[in-house]
Amino acid sequence: ASDQIVLMSPWFRQSFSQLRGATKWEENRLMLAGLSLAPGLDLPSMTGDLSHLGEQNIGLDFDVEVFGGKVRADISHEWRAGAKTWNMVGSAGDISLAQTAEALGFAQSISGMLHACNFTFRGNLFDPARATGWLWTELTAPAWHERAADIVMLGATLSERQIHLQQLYVKQGSNELTLSGEASFPPAWSNWPNARLRGDVSAAIVDLREFAGLFGAKRDQFAGTLTIEGTVHARERDIRGHFSASGSALTLFQKPVDLLKATAKLNGTQLVIEGLELVHADDFLRATGKIDIWHPQDSHGTIDLSLRDLSNYFPAAPAASSLIARLLFDGSNAFIESLQLHDGPLAIGCGGTFDFASMHNIGITLTPDNVLFDLGWLGVSDCAGAFHLFPAHGDKILPQIEKIDIHGDLFSGTWRIGLRHDIGPDQDWLLCAGGNGHALNLAVSDAEMAGFARSPLRSFRSGEPSTLSLSSDQP
């Protein structure tokens, strides 16, 4: 019997005590046999070779029976002339992951099996960039908490500062994901932007709900089928690649999408969106354009959007409200070519601008095409959470809305909306999320802004010239 052996790490703690087995010393070799560490964990044989100790070389080979499977390995260590080199060759198979996790003291539920694993390594453990190695492993029915797959296979090689991912394959029911590629390690960290990289991805996902759950996402936020294909190549800061995706009967972040199509390519520093289309019933979003990562001022594109019922996507929107818009992007600005907002039978049209030069200070300015009035039912300290449109009546004198300003911080989520009037003080309110707060109540006239008979005060404030008539037949 021996004293207690304790294994400790940030993830587990385990101890082995009252160990029994046989030992033998023969011709510079130390052999252990029949050592039982714990139920299901036995060491049938282990041999330490000290015959080349004078040549600064030691060796170790062992067989371990581990929870229904076996591990075999041959390890040697050389430390000649200050260079430390490890040589390792090993294999493993049919090892229960559940029993392994329990023996190591994992508090979380793990199941499945390490069906097969083969590996080699030669080099300094503290300088892996100069090492060579090879790994192939296959897990069957791995599961952790509510994350589960049928098969996970990984094959990779390491040689001369280069990792070659032969395959990472994940199968979950009818869902399949395959990744492959290679990457090189530059000799200095300062050369990382010049590193060579190649990657390929292929995914055929029949049940997006379960596949999203495998990677920790909330299952109730995703559903449908999705197909993804893509490749990327990078060398000397030049990135090239292409990507395509298509899906049907989708739910993305709890939003329904009947059809998804996307094609894009990487061309140097430019991401070219050849086509992006999201469709749900009669609603759609379509986009094309170019995004220059290093020169954002050279970016441009077009977005067309039509939402029949805004409340399907934004809980704060009033029932029966809809939106039709076309945006033209140029650099860090967008021009709202047309925007139509409906609330039941009433509608307003707008043009405007969208400034996103700073994500901390995004600004949207809308100029109504219709004659729009502020009914003034919202208090200064109130929070705006929706809008309602009402028909305008000519017997009331109300402030006319010339502009609607929306600005906020994308990261903090703080947004404000302001109404710019032709007469009287301007007003702005904090925007509330999730349908909380009060509604902005606006009155809309059938007349268009250009044909509306403005008062001299309104014309003067908007900078338009006004003529003075002395005709006796005019008041």
Question: pLDDT of the chain along its 475 residues, tens only?
Answer: 455 556 555 555 666 666 676 777 777 777 777 777 777 777 777 777 777 766 677 788 888 888 889 989 888 888 776 678 888 899 999 999 988 888 777 767 889 999 999 999 988 877 777 889 999 999 999 998 889 999 999 999 998 788 999 999 999 999 999 999 998 877 776 776 677 889 999 999 999 999 999 998 999 999 999 999 999 998 877 889 999 999 999 999 888 999 999 999 999 888 999 999 999 999 999 999 999 888 888 889 999 999 888 777 766 555 556 888 899 988 888 898 888 888 878 888 889 998 988 888 999 999 999 888 988 877 778 888 777 888 987 656 788 999 999 999 888 888 888 999 888 888 888 888 655 678 888 899 865 544 333 444 444 444 444 443 333 344 3
Q: Classify residue 443 as exposed, middle or buried by CB count within 10 Å of its CB (0-12, 13-18, 19+).
A: buried
From the CA atom positions of the chain, what is the Rg in Å? 34
Sorted by sequence, the CB contacts under 8 Å of residue 386 that are 6+ apart come out as 316, 317, 318, 435, 437, 438, 439, 440
Find the DSSP H helices in 176-217: 208-214
Q: How many CB atoms lie within 10 A of CB 467?
A: 4
Report residue 408: phi and psi, to 5°: 180, 180
Q: How many CB atoms lie within 10 A of CB 336?
A: 19
| Domain positions in the chain | 284-463
Find the DSSP H helices in 319-450: none
pTM score > 0.85 for this model?
A: no
Sorted by sequence, the CB contacts under 8 Å of residue 21 that are 6+ apart come out as 32, 33, 34, 35, 36, 43
SS3 at position 249: strand
| Residue with the two structure tokens 């009252």 | 18
Q: 277 with 262: CB under 8 angstroms? A: yes
Report residue 465: phi and psi, to 5°: -70, 145
Structure tokens at 111: 């199941």
